[in-house]
Structure 1
């Protein structure tokens, strides 16, 4: 079926209206009218071909919240009218060890990305949530139980939320633990909120003294200006876990020094150029670790959404019309958003 979308036709073109073909729902498919779509920095990197492998036309968007309009005969978890969500994946091989463990993001054959990804078993490009509708296999559709008024702010949970939730859970953030969140942007602001909601003593790190009050409003118990050596030294050897969300190359050693023995710093930001090589001594003399983490699997994404609904956790968002996406990208480059843009997809659906 023909569906309205917004697409980039090349790395230098502005976005514009485009029609895509969505498949008719199969036996296990869920058809969703897209209501809101978060704008992730990955969208910008892909649309502008700042990461290799972009195929055009490119229709980004992997933070999708919408309403179910049709279900296949074998669908058990969703009914027409339900609120549902789609994140960064729409398929995987489903039979490798990672898929069997519900960690489809580490599929050994490569998961199918919601946009700019090969359809499994074929070469067709996938198109994301900058569109009026999407059809996804039930296995990769999430239930949403937040109130209707919160739905725009739920959308970023499908990437920014799960990208921070997965490592926080994997490394045991919770009561009695001291957790650091490095960076207060789209990812970092969710890291602070989730760490606080999990009950950890949460310390936010920023290079900007002007963000101290904002970080505390998000739930940080303390805020450290990381370019002030005395503030950093006051926390030496005291953190159980640090989640580093910064996507710009920087020196990791000052943060490694803040970890307890057996502490871990996990990286979720992907810089354009590599970080400086860390000092091995800082690792071996404290049995400390530097790790990485990628989004989250479908079971843990559902767990995160349910937890956030119970606790009233959502992202801080600014709503935009679909036609404002290029302007939004320009502001994202300048970090001029607190903390996530979300597209009201009715502005696409109702456009002349």
Structure 2
């Protein structure tokens, strides 16, 4: 066991603070990684503060990990020491069910093993995430970071990136499609970039007039203020796809009515009950689809990194010293980041 510096939350109110953890000795299929950067996802806050009532304390958050390989197990064939690699939201699955065999490990029928706050399938220990010096992960759940990508800006692609890329690819967004992106945060700004790279005409839906210029800067062709009844009325039945990145309860009905017949509204941010209730006629009368999507499988996670390298796509980031993580959480709650914090893990190693 290797003792490793980390940052962990000890309770719902403790904040995140220095904590020592033990990393397992590498198994034959494992890759040992020295972590250089770790993105900060809003999910990290939910687990640190037990918002979803499932946190096992102490919890070491972090599932947007980029680092360098320091050792490989005897069975590893795809990586070697020195490779720049990434680890995303999961570190294992059953590997045998129909979902896993299809490269959709996120939908593993037995449940995937999350990068943190999960249970290791072999020794039943709790998994610890990327707010740490190093991590040990099975080769299957490690991806290569293309040389062309800035490794710090690549970290959020392992969650925010794949979360928005996967549904656009799955539902076949193509040149000429009209795509609406609901929300202008870490997920939303990536959705704009991917939809544009796929050739779509992209519109940002936002509640705030102050975000119009920023949305255009991100590449949106149009911006609709969702609280403006006239703008929403003009948008009726004009979109092929809505990518809904909003993580809190909101009224879906106006957006459903903005879809053409056979249009698709894809939820990637909301995990709570839909409220207010859906007007089912908005689906039935126009054969519209309301769908959800969860991150992506391992082949697609590699695909999104390669796609970003090919199309010069990165996440907009703000670098962070880990000693300031709790202040960063408070800023994230206020939406005060454009658009993803990334921890420079040298600040942990130097502490």
1: CA distance between counterparts of 2:47 and 2:147?
30
Q: Secondary structure at the match of 1:116?
A: coil
Correspondence for 2:261: 261
Superposed CA RMSD:
1.1
2: CA distance between counterparts of 1:252 and 1:117?
32
Q: How does 1:206-221 map to 2 (within 5 A)?
A: 206-221=206-221
2: CA distance between counterparts of 1:341 and 1:273?
28
Correspondence for 1:85: 86
Correspondence for 2:196: 196
2: CA distance between counterparts of 1:300 and 1:73?
26
Correspondence for 1:289: 289
1:273 CA drift (Å): 5.4
Gap regions ≥5 residues in structure 1: none
The alignment status of 1:338 with 2:338, answered yes or no, reads yes
1:146 CA drift (Å): 4.0
Correspondence for 1:140: 141
Correspondence for 2:48: 47
1:199 CA drift (Å): 1.1
1: CA distance between counterparts of 2:274 and 2:253?
14
CA 1:274/1:281 → structure 2, altered by over 3 Å: closer, same or farther?
closer
Correspondence for 1:23: 24
1: CA distance between counterparts of 2:174 and 2:244?
17
2: CA distance between counterparts of 1:320 and 1:335?
16
Correspondence for 2:322: 322
1:270 CA drift (Å): 2.1
Q: Secondary structure at the match of 1:168?
A: helix
Q: Is residue 91–residue 115 contact of structure 2 (8 Å, CA) maintained in 1?
A: yes
Task: Render the CA deviation track for 1:51-103: whole Å, top value 9, x for unaligned.
Answer: 12100111000000001111112111111111000000000000111001100
The alignment status of 1:127 with 2:128, answered yes or no, reads yes
The alignment status of 1:232 with 2:232, answered yes or no, reads yes
Task: Render the CA deviation track for 1:4-26: whole Å, top value 9, x for unaligned.
Answer: 10111111102211111111222
Correspondence for 1:249: 249
Q: Is residue 15–residue 48 contact of structure 2 (8 Å, CA) maintained in 1?
A: no
